[in-house]
Amino acid sequence: MTHMTMISQKLLLLGILLVLIIPIGTNFYAQGAPPQVETHNPTGLSATAVSPTQINLFWSAPTQNYGKIIVGYKIEQQISYGVFDTVVYNSGSTLTAYSMTGLKTGVAYTYRVSAVYSDDTSTDPSNVAAAIPSSTSVQSPNPPVSSPSTNVQFDFVPSDGTALSGVIFSQSDYLALQYKKDPRSIMLDAVPTSYPANNNLDNLLSYQNNHLSDDAVPAPLIAKPASPTQINLSWLPPIEQYGQKLGGYRIEIKNTLGDYQVIDENTGNGTTKYSISGLTPETTYTYRVSAVYPGTHSNPSNEASATTLEFVAPPVKQNQTTAPPQTSSGTIPSNTVSPVVNNVKFDLTAPDGSLLSGVILTQNDYQQLVIIKDPRTILTNVGQTTSTINNALSSIVRYQTLHTVQESVPTQSTTTPVENSSQPPTEPSKPQPVDSALVNGVITSVVASGVVGITTWFVKTKVARKIAKEYHFTLEHVYSTTVSQIRIRNSGETIEDCIIICDKDPCVWIDTNLDKSRHIYEGSVSSVTVPKEFENQNPMISVKSGKKVLRKMMLDDMAHG
């Protein structure tokens, strides 16, 4: 009995100890477990040199995206301390790895990445990572992967244009392919996938070697639909040009009879992109391109086909069909809130390939631009913004005119020209109208004062013409490898005694290293340096002609050239 009592006491004591110890141990385990940290931008960026000319980047995706969808990553390269230049605007893939190729051996490269969302916004950048390609840099046999559980699906297009769609690789094979493929083979639409690999590196390289085109033709040509009425073409320039100067590219379309019709005899520039507008929705078109040289042209590229998208009528907004509420007296209530009017921000690629980024117009000006622009002018990255407008419709039209490829034979237009009173005069020889009140005053002065009046007439007429003079120019904020610059493109009449002021300091012209005023002639492009004390700031920029201020704008509100 006593023995049983002792056992019962020991069991009771053991139970009490367990009751005390278990909560303590559980609490210790909970405190020791690392909490899940939310990240709002890419983290853990690393850079590894894998060849004398290539660096592979790896990073982790943000874990908190606020309900948005990541569609790719922006990659930036440091060009000076604290200054980064975008080298990849959107990788077009959610794969958290990227290969930077074509680098210089022995040069240090520093990068950072940002996630790009479907609404065209991006996160803050990641940490920076640097690497130096060297002659001893080699591809690791087992390179790190961005996700151990996903493969990569992509389309592979060798230089003869025979696309292989839906290829699925392991991530290590995908990264190795970027290094080992032919320079003119292209990988498109890469996305992570949980499906098993359906190909391997050796097989794909063998396929590529059987589908290489002649080095003297542009290749591969790729066609992509951009809208129900537009198709965009892109290609790589020929490797072998036999010492000739490339003058542009000839664009041809395949007609229903099977032969080709020239739609642009010579683009007149080396840009390897071309946009065809005014097409029929849900229709397949086939194209090819040839390199143009003095007096001759290369053999054509591969054929590339694309089908325009289906036309979908935009939904009718409720406030467009419903009248605003009215009181019994028929008046609109004073507490009715007017809709916020946003401007439109976009990038403009002129027909000769010149890019003007970050243009901001009013919605009315943008809608008119869509109607009157050259069919080969491309408007991309279009979105609404509350930022201040930094350009005018007339300036953009003049900019487009100066960067339009001049064709030897004018083509007949099948559409009725749209009249637009906001377009600037295109004939500089026409005299500018003089204010009628000024003319009356001048005539009165002539009659009343004789010779003095005649002199006054000439003076006032000259002044009136100068006042009536229209200036059309754009301002761009650009970065060189060392300094921040402002570029002025003058597409209108000459700006006499022009000077650009940063806050209160005159900027220095890059080509003369002087801050003196100068004439900016029509069609010219001039640049000034932003004073170093204003780096990483947003000063007020003023453009003056003599003592007259032509435009004032904050530096960050300028387009990015």
- Condensed to tens digits (0 to 9), the pLDDT of residues 75-114 reads 998 877 777 888 888 887 788 888 888 788 888 899 999 9
Whole-Å CA distances, 41 to 22, 87, 121, 444: 39, 18, 12, 71
Neighbours of 247 (CB within 10 A): 18
Give me 561's structure tokens. 């050239």
Sorting pLDDT into bands at 50, 70 and 90, what band is 482?
low
Residue-wise over 190-212: b if at least 16 C-beta within 10 A, else e?
bebbeeebebebeebeebbeebe
pLDDT at position 437 over 70: no
Q: 3-class DSSP state for residue 256?
A: coil
pLDDT of 551 higher than 50: yes
User: How far, in Å, CA of 191 to CA of 71, rounded?
Assistant: 9
pLDDT at 142 (0 to 100): 52
pLDDT digits (tens, 9 = 90+) for 485-521: 888 888 777 888 899 999 888 999 887 888 888 888 8
220: left (phi over 0), alpha (psi -120 to 50) or beta: beta
In the chain, % of residues over pLDDT 90 = 19
Q: Hey, is 29 helix, strand or coil?
A: helix
pTM of the model: 0.40
**pLDDT category, 286, cuts 50, 70, 90?**
very high
Question: Could you give the CA distance from residue 76 to residue 89 in angstroms, rounded to a whole number?
Answer: 8
How confident is the model over 271-278, as a mean pLDDT?
87
Q: What is the 3-state secondary structure (H, E, C) of 392-411?
A: CHHHHHHHHHHCCCCCCCCC
- Rounded to whole angstroms, how far apart are CA atoms 560 and 478? 6
| Of 9-23, 79-93, 176-190, 199-213, minimum mean pLDDT range | 9-23
CA distances from 531 to 290, 477, 478, 482 (A): 46, 13, 14, 12
Each residue's pLDDT tens digit, 298-311: 999 999 999 998 88
pLDDT one-digit tens code per residue, 36-57? 678 889 998 999 888 888 888 9
Work out the average pLDDT over 313-332: 52
pLDDT value at 177 more than 60: yes
Q: Which of 126-135, 307-316, 399-408 has the highest mean pLDDT?
A: 126-135
pLDDT tier for residue 141 given thresholds of 50, 70 and 90: low
Average pLDDT, the chain: 76
